[in-house]
Structure 1
């Protein structure tokens, strides 16, 4: 089983053989728990992880919606649900629609923990005020991603080469796709990529820039 990732489909992958067997070309596959499509986008993996996290919440529903102290239940939420939702999230390229989907799942969990029904017509701000949290899932995700990128940037190796690699072919028509490195650059408020690389070399400065991006 193989997958061809290119802006221009060449068809070269069709002829790859292993012994007497021609390897099958697929559109997507699972690797180490992540769903990887041939277009390199993260949307399918994000939807898959959130669905798994929703199932994890429902499995622990009796505990998460019990009369146990709210702070304890929030800790359980991060252990049993957030860990599922954010698995592999360090590598996601997230656009505005994906971010809304992540934040919507975050609020879905909070509303069920507080037993707030949709007919109660309570705003998200009111829910966050009652539970005493910000949008924790998004903050957790960006913190994990920034820590990984900072570590990679401070160490030379194959992971660093992959981070700065490019894909053959020309850009498609229309609005350019959001790039992984670009979203990190914007998150830490750096106008140029070389500026982001320089900040990443200083662990303290990078952590400060990362914390600022989560506000």
Structure 2
């Protein structure tokens, strides 16, 4: 697989192994993750959704549709088996809003099936998460990335993950217009959302137990503020609808 520079076509090169020409592909699987030549996670998200759907389907008859099991047990199985399958490798993802929205749709659909909530019940997503005792997908991804980034900071300088985290390209120019997100951009966004100073991030990570507690607090704060913002937006929308009805 050849990953060309942004806006350029891949060069016409060939690779041989023991005299056999290797096929040039646009994506392939490595350690359970799907990599593509564009450098984004679109194919990985589709692959994760397929694996999570298959895992849910295999356990549906024995667990999720089993009337003999309590709902608490079903939720524990979902969090232990389905969510790790869905978010495998999310520590290194560079997510866009479309990725989180697609994953959240699967998350909500699965929880509503387990809790036996129909679309005719008119339940909000925040109420479903509260009843299931679960966080949103964005909060789960944020927690994984904060913990992984702290682990990378504590690594020795000769470790490859730390070199990639702190590395920068020496050659090339930036294209005009909006730039592609980097892992550093996603991490900085989550640090600010969790009220953690990015400039003091490295010093905080060296204390493992303190960073673990701080990252958990940051994710809890982010989720609480996210739910409050969603509820405030919903109430404002209902108020506008009520005012329009009064005018009519």
What TM-score do you get using the length of structure 1 for normalisation?
A: 0.84
Q: CA separation of 1:207/1:185 partners in 2, compared to 1, >3 Å: closer, same or farther?
A: farther
Once the two structures are TM-superposed, the CA of residue 208 in structure 1 deviates from its matched residue by 3.8
Residue pair 1:153, 1:201 contacting (<8 A) in 2 also:
yes
Residue pair 1:185, 1:196 contacting (<8 A) in 2 also:
no
> How many residues end up aligned between the 2 structures?
212
Instruction: Give, in whole Å, the separation in 2 of the partners of 1:127 and 1:79.
Output: 18
Is residue 211 of structure 1 aligned with residue 211 of structure 2?
Answer: no
Q: Secondary structure at the match of 2:75?
A: helix
Residue pair 2:64, 2:114 contacting (<8 A) in 1 also:
yes
Question: What is the aligned partner in structure 2 of residue 23 from structure 1?
Answer: 22
Listed one character per residue, the Cα deviations across residues 43-82 of structure 1 (whole Å, up to 9, x for unaligned) are 2202210221022112211312333222211111012211
Instruction: Give, in whole Å, the separation in 2 of the partners of 1:102 and 1:176.
Output: 24
Q: Secondary structure at the match of 1:29?
A: strand
Question: What is the aligned partner in structure 2 of residue 166 from structure 1?
Answer: 168
Structure 1, unaligned stretches of length 5 or more? none
Residue pair 2:52, 2:83 contacting (<8 A) in 1 also:
yes
Question: What is the aligned partner in structure 2 of residue 57 from structure 1?
Answer: 56
Is residue 179 of structure 1 aligned with residue 205 of structure 2?
Answer: no
Which is greater in Rg?
Answer: 2
Residue pair 2:3, 2:39 contacting (<8 A) in 1 also:
no
Instruction: Give, in whole Å, the separation in 2 of the partners of 1:81 and 1:214.
Output: 21
Higher mean alpha-carbon deviation, 63-72 vs 105-114, is at 63-72
Matches within 5 A, 1:1-215: 2-7=1-6, 9=8, 11-12=10-11, 14-62=13-61, 63-67=63-67, 68-129=69-130, 131-156=131-156, 157-167=159-169, 169-189=172-192, 190=196, 192=198, 194-215=199-220
Q: Secondary structure at the match of 1:214?
A: helix
Once the two structures are TM-superposed, the CA of residue 118 in structure 1 deviates from its matched residue by 2.4
Instruction: Give, in whole Å, the separation in 1 of the partners of 2:201 and 2:127.
Output: 36
With a CA cutoff of 8 Å and minimum separation of 6, indicate the structure with the bigger relative contact order: 1
What TM-score do you get using the length of structure 2 for normalisation?
A: 0.74
Listed one character per residue, the Cα deviations across residues 6-34 of structure 1 (whole Å, up to 9, x for unaligned) are 33647446143334333332211111111
Instruction: Give, in whole Å, the separation in 1 of the partners of 2:4 and 2:202.
Output: 27
Once the two structures are TM-superposed, the CA of residue 111 in structure 1 deviates from its matched residue by 0.6
Structure 2, unaligned stretches of length 5 or more? 221-248
